[in-house]
Amino acid sequence: MRHILLVCTGNTCRSPMAESMLADMARKAGKPLEVRSAGVAGIDGYPVSPHAAETLRRRNLPVPGPSQALSAKQIAWADVILAMTTSHKRLILERHPEAAGKTYTLKEFALQGEAEMDAVAEAERLYAEWQLQQAMGRKMAEADREKMLGLQRELPDFDIADPFGGSLTDYESCAEEIGAALRLVVDKLEEDDCPKETD
């Protein structure tokens, strides 16, 4: 069984909706997945937001139990980590470098194999190089900097919009956006797509 961790900001809106939706889709598709969620700025014990809970109930899906802050233990547990935004992904990798190679945005993972992903890989390589140069007190070569900025402007939007504080309609729209990406993820989760559990 593979372990999928879905991550958003507070673990009260997007990631719990995605958790419930992915678990249901995987079960219906016969994919052996265990799905959990957490928040990069989450606080343990908060309930799912009322609109997120209602959105799940309207789909006859269970409402996940209280919020959880992202932890090293969850990172170690996960075979694949799917963040709701590029910012979440970067925070995860900054705080947990051991998550490199298994952390993606939800939309990024869903689009693996698409032509846009070559530009994403190059932009991430240049971004990592820029961070390394900064850490060493050096400046990035101007040509690389311009290339990185150009690629970032051309990249598709990999963020799932945050419905926090919005209407029930905003949450429904968010769930539709999540669901569309998750359907692609479920299709991609074949036996060799994710590392297997080793313990």
Q: What is the pLDDT of residues 49-63, one digit of tens each?
A: 999 999 999 999 999
CATH of domain 2-111+157-188: 3.40.50.2300
Q: Is 14 a catalytic residue?
A: yes
Q: Indicate if the pLDDT at residue 199 is higher than 50.
A: no
From the CB of residue 176, how many other CB atoms can be counted at a distance below 10 Å?
Answer: 10
Catalytic residue among 2, 8, 13, 174: 8
Q: Please, what is the average pLDDT of the chain?
A: 90
Place of tokens 């997120």: 52
Give the residue, 127 or 35, on which the prediction is more confident: 35
Q: Indicate if the pLDDT at residue 111 is higher than 50.
A: yes
Tell me the torsion sign for CA atoms 104, 105, 109, 111: negative
Q: What is the pLDDT of residues 132-159, one digit of tens each?
A: 888 889 988 898 888 878 877 777 789 9
CA 99 to mean position of chain CA atoms: 12
Q: Indicate if the pLDDT at residue 191 is higher than 70.
A: no
Q: What is the three-class DSSP state of 25? A: helix
Kindly list the domain boundaries of the chain, sorted by start residue. Answer: 2-111+157-188, 114-155
The pTM is what? Answer: 0.81
Q: Is 13 a catalytic residue?
A: no
**Please, which residues have CB within 8 angstroms of residue 146's CB and are 6 or more apart in sequence?**
none
Burial class (CB in 10 A: 0-12, 13-18, 19+), 85: buried
